[in-house]
Amino acid sequence: MKTLKIIHLSGFSKNKPQHHPAIGEDYYFVASWAGLMARRLKKYKPEIDIEVWRAENEIKVKMENEVFNLKGIIWPYKYPVVKNVLTWEMIKRLNRLKKEYFIILHYHDLYNLRFVILMNLFCPGIKIVLSHHGGVPPLEKTLKAKLMKIFYNKHRISFITYLSLSTKHFLESIKGHPSLKFLPVGADFNQMIPMDKTELRKELGLESDKIYGIYVGSFYRLKSVDLILEIYNSLKSKYNFTVIFVGGSNTPDNDLYDEVIKSGCPWYGIVPWTEMVKYYNAADFYIHPAFNSNFGGLDVSWIEALACNKPVLSPQLAYLDFDYSELGVLIKNKKEAIEKTEWMINNYWRFTKCRETAQKYLDSNTTIMEKLLNIYEEIYNKYNSYNEPSTGL
């Protein structure tokens, strides 16, 4: 019986953010959703064999390093087979490894149809898990939708994790689709903890008696920052209320950068993740009216706010696969946004079990990892059932 090897795979971005680790640093080898999930899983279950793979066009020779107790491999982007993701050398390596190991290749992108087709063509026998981190389903009658309904089945893909309801419904429409599970990245409940709001407001220069919503992320319409500003302008004269903005940068994709800066709301720019706990705790609730149909992800920031025991205003509460009534208020459409925000301004203090409830389902260090392990175990046990009794993971 072959032993299990899990490989987490991600693509590369040509336009790296300023905070991206330098070549050769430990975090450079795990600087992706794939690396984050693999690192957390290895910490949760140290005995599992996990590698993290990524191709990069900025290196010329393959780099390997043992980081965070797992192997990170950066491949030079030569002879690409799948744009920004997979090279011919990586395919050859996978086919060599499968002779010795039972391989689960976990690719952290759902809508890359070319990847699915070519992996089945060039690497038969390797089990594929796809995770949804963003993106929306193709329109129903498009060629891509038709091809996905052919190739995204349980014979070619072993498991798919999803975030949004639209993605779930599309996948469920595929005849013979693989097993599906809601699996967000979750939040680090060890890092994001409740802290004294009064003291933090002093430290950050905020008013002690003001009601603060908070938004964290880029300043563009895709995440409905324009609607947040509209809500603020509608309610600021009626209530002692404003919104804390964290993030944003003066770049073309932040198309609302100037509007945020000119709004009069407190703005703190890009803040190191280790400092974010202060900003969540200084606020009263997280405001997140993300209705843009072109945004298919699920923001980690509002889960981090929940970990700090702050309620959330968001349509994405409906994505959760458990009772979210203790976590905040669901906004169903733009018409409700101002009304529900006004209600939250007056009632945010009612939510006292945000952290307690969210931790049961959204803790990235425990609950999310257990769900991920169950996925791998389900795939591995199917293989073992054709060979000999499973010893599990």
**pLDDT digits over 287-297, tens only?**
999 887 667 78
Q: In this predicted structure, what is the pLDDT of residue 78?
A: 96
Tell me the percentage of the chain whose pLDDT exceeds 70.
97
pLDDT tens for each residue of 314-328: 999 999 999 999 999
DSSP for 195-228 reads --HHHHHHHHT--TT-EEEEEES--SGGGTHHHH
Confidence of residue 67 (pLDDT cuts 50, 70, 90): very high
CB 174 within 8 A of CB 152: yes
H helices of the chain, in order, are 33-44, 88-97, 113-122, 143-151, 165-172, 197-204, 225-235, 257-262, 276-282, 300-307, 334-347, 354-362, 367-384
Beta bridge partners of 72: 52, 65
Split at pLDDT 50, 70, 90, the class of 252 is: confident
How far apart (Å, rounded) are the C-alpha atoms in residues 324 and 76?
Answer: 44
> Which pTM does this prediction carry?
0.92
- What contacts 125, CB < 8 A, 6 or more positions away? 98
Using one digit for the tens of pLDDT, what is the confidence trace for 332-372?
998 899 999 999 999 999 999 999 999 999 999 999 999 99
pLDDT tens by residue, 188-210? 999 999 999 999 999 999 999 99
pLDDT number for residue 190: 97
- CA distances 133 to 1, 127, 239, 327, 347, Å, are 33, 20, 36, 22, 32
pLDDT score of 55: 97
Confidence band of 242 (pLDDT split at 50, 70, 90): very high
Residues 128, 133, 137, 142, CA torsion sign: negative
Taken in order of first residue, the domains within the chain and their CATH numbers are: 3-185+364-384 (3.40.50.2000), 197-360 (3.40.50.2000)
pLDDT, mean over the chain: 94
Whole-angstrom distance, CA of residue 203 vs CA of residue 206: 8
pLDDT band at 234 (very low <50, low <70, confident <90, very high): very high
pLDDT of residue 384: 81
Confidence band of 387 (pLDDT split at 50, 70, 90): low
> Per the structure block, which two tokens stand in for 166?
């639209």
Parallel/antiparallel/unpaired status of strands 86-87 and 80-82 = antiparallel
| Token pair belonging to 36 | 């984050």
Q: Check residue 251 and give its pLDDT.
A: 84
Of 29, 95, 32, whose CA–CA distance to 62 is shortest? 29
For residue 393, what pLDDT band results from cuts at 50, 70 and 90? Answer: low
The pLDDT of 49-59, averaged and rounded, is 96
Q: What is the pLDDT of residues 128-186, one digit of tens each?
A: 999 999 899 999 999 999 999 999 999 999 999 999 999 999 999 999 999 999 999 99
For residue 366, how many C-alpha atoms fall within 13 Å in the half-sphere facing its CB?
7
